[in-house]
Amino acid sequence: MEVHHHPDLHHKPKPWKEYLLEYLMIFLAVMTGFFAESYREHLAERSKEHEYAVNIKKDLLRDTTNINFWVPALMSRIAKFDTLLSYLETEGQVKDGAHMYYLARLSTRNQVFEASDNTILEMKSSGNLRLIRNREIVNSLMEYEKVVGQYRNLQDIEQKEDVLSYPLLGELFDAKVFDKMVSVKNTQLTAQEYAAGSTNNLTIPQGNPQLISNDKEKINMLIYYLHQRKSSFMGEIRRLTVQKTVDTTLISQINQEYKLKDE
């Protein structure tokens, strides 16, 4: 009878150096993959950071251009309010009632300056503000947001003051004259026209219309609300001037940090 012998399945143990070598090779492979992935993420984040910096700069340049329209425009509105106030303070009949009506109707037109902060808001909502490594730029962005918030608060106050003057305008001025002042014109406005308080669709009335009421208390209240709005315009000018300074500083910091062309 033939006898079959089973093969010897026992292996000789490997030298410990071979185990160490295999461990080192696996460790190096894992670490190399980890560092490669980290480096790719680093490059992606740096690219995204640069893209955000470029877009922030574009927004800031748009801001400064618009502020250059709005500051002179607000000064022009203050001058118009001063003229309207002088008419309302006149005792007896106003010599140029048509101009008084025109300025009174124009005073109700309320324009809103909008800061170009879309990129910053997007970065905050997505958590990508962390990509900006330069601490000075981050601090300037926070200052920018603060100034924009202060301006918007002033806008809210001015709009409320505007609404408060509506009933008094209706009680002191002839609404039929206001209605005849409206005409159909081109509705396309330039940025300068919008900022200045558009006179679009308004014409100076004929003749020398006067107030329909000489109620001193009502006239005094209207003067008060117009004065408050004028003061708000002055505050907006100050805030926009500060904002322009912050914008200019940020643009300079971004140009330097990201090697962008100074414009």
- The model's pLDDT over 172-227, given as tens digits with 9 standing for 90+, comes to 999 999 999 987 665 566 665 555 555 567 889 999 999 999 999 999 999 999 99
Residue 104: per-residue pLDDT: 96
At residue 160, does pLDDT exceed 70?
Answer: yes
The whole-model pTM stands at 0.76
Question: Looking at the domain assignment, is residue 11 inside a domain?
Answer: no
Task: Decide if 85 contacts 223 (C-beta within 8 A).
Answer: yes
- pLDDT interval class at 107 (50, 70, 90): very high
Structural domain that includes position 230: 16-258
In a domain, 198, yes or no: yes
Q: Please say if the pLDDT value at position 30 is more than 80.
A: no
Q: Taking a C-beta distance cutoff of 8 angstroms, is the pair 255, 261 a contact?
A: yes
Residue 201: per-residue pLDDT = 77
Residue 4: pLDDT over 60: no
**How confident is the model at residue 206, as a pLDDT?**
93
CA gap 159, 107 in Å, rounded: 11
Domain assignment present for residue 4? The answer is: no
Burial of 224 (0-12, 13-18, 19+ CB in 10 A): middle
**pLDDT (tens digit per residue) in 229-261:** 999 999 999 999 999 999 999 999 999 999 887
Number of structural domains in the chain:
1
CA torsion sign, 27 to 28 to 31 to 33?
A: negative
- Of 60-69, 75-84, 126-135, 228-237, the range with the lowest mean pLDDT is 126-135
* Residue 8 maps to a domain: no
Span 90-107, average pLDDT: 94
In-domain check, residue 157: yes
Task: Let me know if residue 240 belongs to a domain.
Answer: yes
The predicted structure's pLDDT at residue 202:
86
| 5 falls within a domain | no
Q: What is the mean pLDDT of residues 130-142?
A: 92
pLDDT of residue 7: 54
Q: Is 9 a member of any domain?
A: no
